[in-house]
Amino acid sequence: MSESLKYELCCAARILFRAGLSVANAGHLSIAIGNDRMLVNRFGPSFATLTPSDILTVLYDGTVIEHHPDVSPYVNETIALHGIIHRENPHAKAVAHTHPPATVTWSCFREVPDIYDQESCLLAGEVGIVEEDYEGIAATENRVLPLARKLGKYRAAILPNHGAVTIAPNIQLATVTMILLEGMVARNLSVCAAAQATGKTPLAIRMEHALTAKREIEKIPFLEPLWRDMLQRLRQSDPDLFESMRTARIN
């Protein structure tokens, strides 16, 4: 089971990279596997190059308890963010943290983005803002707890001047939620720019209507075929990942 989860985590990371939602080698993805343990990518490789050998088994306090012998098991102190989120939110089996460019821009406004399109309706009532000023890397208990508690109410949290965190029952949905969030804030930025350029006043979708659309869309089993499609695209763009998995199975 752990090996397949490592593979899924690598696929998620590369999908986020291909979507332009990662910066350099910042960011982590984690999957809770019970007994206060999680799978998480080691610090060093970017989302663009992760392979299963880069995935560590780590205690929620950041202690590495299992790693591939050929790689450095280093994780920096920001891994505490994931451990505390998992600990405080047992329903959060998967956590994604990265720095999507439009979301980072929007985070400077300290506002929940409006809903202007159908896809964003899926996040109606699901996006929260961590009310704090950026004071450096969030790695200590007192810095991370407000975020962890915010995620007790929302599926996505925007970190001011920093990035975003999404949670879900699985890494596939956490990844898609991050992509939806970036699309949502990118739409807000483009609508704001269009409003300024034209002098026209934009009309957002009312929350009650967005929630109705959300319920209707959620009846459609979209995640499995969408993830299958993403993997198909990934097979074309990142064949090395799938070759590494095939080799690992043979050995």
Q: State pLDDT tens for residues 210-247.
A: 999 999 999 999 999 999 999 999 999 999 998 877 66
Name the 3-class secondary structure at 158.
Answer: strand
Query: Is pLDDT at 120 greater than 70 in this prediction?
Result: yes
The DSSP 8-state label assigned to residue 140 in this structure reads: S
User: What whole-number distance in Å separates Cα of residue 72 and Cα of residue 21?
Assistant: 25
Alpha helices (H) in 60-140, listed in sequence order: 79-88, 101-107
The enclosing H or E element of 39 equals strand 37-41
* pLDDT tens-digit readout, 170-207: 999 999 999 999 999 999 999 999 999 999 999 999 99
Half-sphere exposure of 250 (CA within 13 A, CB side): 6
Query: SS3 for 186?
Result: helix
Return the higher-pLDDT residue of 130 and 33. Answer: 33
The predicted pLDDT at position 26 comes to 78
* Structural contact between residues 149 and 203, judged by C-beta atoms closer than 8 angstroms: no
> How far apart (Å, rounded) are the C-alpha atoms in residues 1 and 31?
12
Q: Dihedral sign, CA of 189, 85, 68, 71?
A: positive
Average pLDDT over residues 103-119: 96
pLDDT of 74: 78
Q: Which pLDDT value is given to residue 35?
A: 85
Distance between CA atoms of 184 and 202, rounded to whole angstroms?
Answer: 15
Query: Can you give the pTM of this predicted structure?
Result: 0.92
Residue 110 is predicted with a pLDDT of 93
Neighbours of 133 (CB within 10 A): 7
What's the pLDDT at 101? Answer: 96
Residue 141's pLDDT is 67
CATH fit for domain 2-250, picks 3.20.20.140, 3.40.50.300, 3.90.105.10, 3.40.225.10: 3.40.225.10
pLDDT band at 145 (very low <50, low <70, confident <90, very high): confident
pLDDT tens sequence across 6-52: 999 999 999 999 999 998 887 899 999 988 999 999 998 999 999 99
Please give the DSSP secondary-structure letter assigned to residue 22: -
CA 75/CA 59 separation, integer angstroms: 12
Q: What is the pLDDT of residue 80?
A: 82
Residue 55 pLDDT: 95
- For the stretch 72-83, pLDDT in tens is 887 877 788 899
The DSSP symbol for 47 reads T
Distance CA 166, CA 159 (A): 11
Residue 250: pLDDT above 50? Answer: no
Contact 23, 63 (CB under 8 A): no
CA–CA gap between residue 121 and residue 234 (Å, rounded): 27
Of 168, 179, 3, the C-alpha closest to 93 is 168
How far is Cα 199 from Cα 101, in angstroms, rounded to an integer? 26
Domain ranges for the chain, please list them: 2-250
- Does the pLDDT at position 135 exceed 80? no
